[in-house]
Structures are given as structure tokens and as C-alpha cells.
């Protein structure tokens, strides 16, 4: 026992010395490519990002409706995100916010950071530190900034900008196109793992009092882009389907039809889109199309009859359909009783 104790005492100082010589743990660099942007037509603000990094959507993108959007990455100071949003809400411009972020940053590694900001007035500000992992840099246009680090080269943000500006449609689609173009151009030199899209719009999200119009994340997937596309399609489908419902409640079936058709295009295999489109087509007087859509929904959804009956019961705007015995018989495949 005495010999063992003496051996431990001899080893103890060496152990302390060895621990002291070890380098302090450094968190992994968030090597990634991203784009921040605003849609000047409706004020949508958003961020899209991809990386060979687990759950990049939990670290890089920040946005607040009517305020701004931020991407913080490379030798990342995650606090840049909420601090920038708070400063933008106080009325500072993107350029003023960037200057204050850098001035207030007392954490080590500031010269390796990368950040991009767009405010609600369309001002864009970016910073790529001189020690951000190579290749690192950014490109920007009037309403967007694309940036990245540990990329295959400048062709990544350049391709992102071209895709963003050439893509038609809403901001979420333009952000996805830019991100995909960056990946097609080589993207993160280490490979792929995660991706995220965040778009904010005042009261634009699903359900009540939700400004997150789109927020989708692929956290750990060797091929994140097909899954990101699938999630974006679902997200947009649900949004347009919900919009159709609100328009019906307001007595506007024509505009509701346009929304229901968009929902069906985004999720053509989903029973609920056929269900909604069928109801809206009926209210627009297109009974043949309505019957086809509702039959598709009934075929794909075992709970269709129960949901359909509850919808008729609880929706005054569907009174005409509820009383249309001939249409309901055709939908359910029922035969009329023989005439006597």
C-alpha cells in the first residue's frame, strides 16, 4: 500500500503538468455558405444556409419580421445573432449594427468571424475576418448577401447570387435556389451534412400569431438538399392550404382557389391538398373537378368520410355542398334507389 501511494504521488505532478500543456478546447468552426436577403415587394426577410456541420440551422440563421435577418458563422460568435436583431429593432442600420458587433466582441477569434446582415430597409452589411478559414469571402447585390468559408472558391457565392436574382417567385424559393446553386458550384469543401431555411413575415406563419413563415431544418443527412426541398414543399403547401381556408371564411372563393391550387402543386400526393382543392373547386362552380379531387382524397385517406362529414357540419360556407345530394352520392359511389 505504501509503495502504491508513493507511486501515485510521483505521478500526480506529471499529470498536472500534462493537463496544463494541453491546448484549450476550441469549438469547431462553422464552415458554411449562406445567403441573407429581403423581398422588397412584401418585406419578407430570410436566411438560407448549408454546411458540413451538425444542425447548422440552430447556430447560423437569425431573423425577426419587420426588423432584419442575420447569418453568423466561421469562427462563430453565436451571440451576434440575437444582439444584431436587438440592435436592428432599436433602429440601427445594418452597417451600424455590424460596427457595434465587432466593437463589442471581446471573445477570442474575432478576426476569424464571418457575418452578414440585411435590415428591413434593404441595407446590407457583411464582414469576413482576415483569419476566416480559406476560401472565405462574400458577394452581395441590392437585396442580398451570399458568403461562406472553407469553400471550394469564390464561384460558390457568385453562383448563389446569380441564382437568387434569376429565380422567380417568393423569397423562400429564391433562397433555396441560391443555396442549391452554391452546393452545385462545390459548396463546403468538406462535404455536406445539414441545411436550413428561415423566412419571416409579420403574422405570416401557420396558426395564430406566428411570424415564422418558413423554418425548416435538415440537421444530419449526407444529402440534405433533397430533404430540404421536400420540407420546403410541405411547408409552402400547408401555408397556401391554410390561406385558402381563411379566404373561404371571408367569402372569397376565387382567391381561395388560387391558394388551394398552389398548395396542390407543392404537395400533389398529399390527401389534404386534394381535399381542400376539391371543396374550393366546388364553391367556384367546378363540380367535375371538385368530384375528381375529393375522390382522390377519399382514395388516399382512410379517415376521409369522417373528416368530410365534420367539415360539412362545421363550415357554414359549405351549405350548398351539404345539400347537394346528387354530388354526395357520386362522391361516395352510392347508387340511386331504383324508380318505382
Give the three-state DSSP class for 127: strand
- The pLDDT tens digits for 271-318 are 999 999 999 999 999 999 999 999 999 999 999 999 999 999 998 989
Tell me if 81 sits within 8 A of 34, measured CB to CB.
Answer: no
Q: Which is more confidently placed, 328 or 27?
A: 328
Tell me if 99 sits within 8 A of 114, measured CB to CB.
Answer: no
- The pLDDT tens digits for 60-119 are 999 999 999 999 999 999 999 999 999 999 999 999 999 999 999 999 999 999 999 999
Among 162, 195, 222, residue at a domain's last position:
222
173 vs 171: CA distance, rounded Å: 5
Task: State the pLDDT at residue 188.
Answer: 86
Using CA atoms, how far residue 124 sits from 49, 115, 157, 261, in Å, is 17, 11, 15, 35
**Domain count within the chain:** 2
The percentage of residues in the chain with a pLDDT greater than 70, rounded to a whole number, is 89
46 vs 320: CA distance, rounded Å: 42
246 with 199, same domain? no
Decide if pLDDT at 3 tops 50: no
Whether 197 is in a domain gets the answer yes
Whether 16 is in a domain gets the answer no
Whether 182 is in a domain gets the answer yes
Q: Which is more confidently placed, 207 or 11?
A: 207
**Mean of pLDDT values over 196-218:** 96
Residue listed under C-alpha cell 504521488 = 9
- The pLDDT tens digits for 230-278 are 999 999 999 999 999 999 889 999 999 999 999 999 999 999 999 999 9
**Mean of pLDDT values over 209-224:** 97
Q: What is the CA radius of gyration of the chain?
A: 27
62 with 209, same domain? yes
Task: State the pLDDT at residue 50.
Answer: 97
Decide if pLDDT at 339 tops 50: no
74 vs 160: CA distance, rounded Å: 18
* pLDDT band at residue 4 under the 50/70/90 scheme: very low
79 with 173, same domain? yes
Domain extent for 98: 32-222
**How many CA atoms within 13 Å lie on the side-chain side of 107?**
14
Whether 230 is in a domain gets the answer no
Whether 23 is in a domain gets the answer no
216 with 264, same domain? no
Task: State the pLDDT at residue 13.
Answer: 39
* pLDDT band at residue 17 under the 50/70/90 scheme: very low
190 with 266, same domain? no
214 with 255, same domain? no
37 with 185, same domain? yes
152 with 278, same domain? no
Whether 304 is in a domain gets the answer yes
Among 222, 256, 274, residue at a domain's last position:
222
59 with 208, same domain? yes
Task: State the pLDDT at residue 131.
Answer: 95
Q: Residue 215's beta-bridge partner residues?
A: 198
Among 222, 257, 272, residue at a domain's last position:
222
336: CB partners within 8 A, 6+ apart: 329
Tell me if 172 sits within 8 A of 197, measured CB to CB.
Answer: yes
254 with 218, same domain? no
Tell me if 48 sits within 8 A of 35, measured CB to CB.
Answer: yes
213 with 121, same domain? yes
* pLDDT band at residue 26 under the 50/70/90 scheme: low
* pLDDT band at residue 132 under the 50/70/90 scheme: very high
pTM of the model: 0.86
CATH number, domain containing residue 93 = 3.60.20.10
- The pLDDT tens digits for 144-161 are 999 999 999 999 999 999
189 with 249, same domain? no
Helices (H) and strands (E) in the chain, counts: 12, 10
Whether 234 is in a domain gets the answer no
CATH number, domain containing residue 296 = 1.25.40.10
Task: State the pLDDT at residue 2.
Answer: 42
Whether 2 is in a domain gets the answer no
283: CB partners within 8 A, 6+ apart: 248, 253, 256, 317, 318, 320, 321
10 Å CB burial of residue 181 (0-12, 13-18, 19+) is: buried
Amino acid at each position: 500500500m505504501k509503495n502504491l501511494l508513493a507511486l501515485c504521488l510521483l505521478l500526480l505532478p506529471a499529470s498536472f503538468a500534462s493537463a496544463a500543456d494541453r491546448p484549450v478546447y476550441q469549438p469547431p468552426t462553422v464552415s458554411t455558405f449562406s445567403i441573407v436577403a429581403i423581398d422588397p415587394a412584401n418585406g419578407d426577410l430570410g436566411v438560407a444556409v448549408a454546411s458540413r456541420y451538425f444542425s447548422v440551422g440552430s447556430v447560423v440563421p437569425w431573423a425577426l419580421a419587420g426588423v432584419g435577418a442575420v447569418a453568423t458563422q466561421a469562427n462563430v460568435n453565436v451571440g451576434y445573432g440575437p444582439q444584431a436583431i436587438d440592435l436592428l429593432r432599436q433602429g440601427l442600420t445594418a452597417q451600424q449594427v455590424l460596427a457595434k458587433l465587432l466593437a463589442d466582441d471581446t471573445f477570442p477569434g474575432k478576426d476569424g468571424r464571418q457575418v452578414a446582415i440585411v435590415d428591413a430597409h434593404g441595407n446590407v452589411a457583411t464582414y469576413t475576418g482576415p483569419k476566416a478559414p480559406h476560401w472565405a469571402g462574400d458577394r452581395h447585390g441590392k437585396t442580398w448577401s451570399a458568403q461562406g468559408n472553407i469553400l471550394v472558391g469564390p464561384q460558390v457565392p457568385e453562383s448563389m447570387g446569380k441564382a437568387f436574382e434569376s429565380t422567380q417567385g417568393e423569397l423562400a424559393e429564391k433562397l433555396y435556389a441560391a443555396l442549391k446553386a452554391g452546393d452545385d458550384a462545390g459548396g463546403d469543401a468538406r462535404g455536406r451534412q445539414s441545411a436550413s431555411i428561415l423566412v419571416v413575415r409579420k403574422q405570416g406563419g401557420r396558426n395564430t400569431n406566428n411570424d415564422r413563415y418558413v423554418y425548416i431544418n435538415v440537421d444530419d443527412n449526407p444529402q440534405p438538399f433533397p430533404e430540404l426541398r421536400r420540407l420546403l414543399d410541405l411547408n409552402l403547401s400547408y401555408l397556401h392550404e391554410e390561406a385558402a381556408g381563411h379566404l373561404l371564411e371571408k367569402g372569397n372563393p376565387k382567391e381561395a382557389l388560387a391558394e388551394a391550387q398552389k398548395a396542390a402543386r407543392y404537395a400533389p400526393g398529399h390527401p389534404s391538398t386534394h381535399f381542400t382543392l376539391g371543396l374550393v373547386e366546388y364553391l367556384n362552380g367546378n363540380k367535375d373537378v371538385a368530384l375528381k379531387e375529393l375522390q382522390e382524397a377519399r382514395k388516399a385517406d382512410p379517415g376521409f368520410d369522417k373528416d368530410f362529414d365534420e367539415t360539412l357540419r362545421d363550415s357554414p360556407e359549405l351549405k350548398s355542398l351539404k345539400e347537394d345530394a346528387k354530388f354526395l352520392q357520386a362522391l361516395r359511389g352510392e347508387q340511386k334507389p331504383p324508380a318505382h
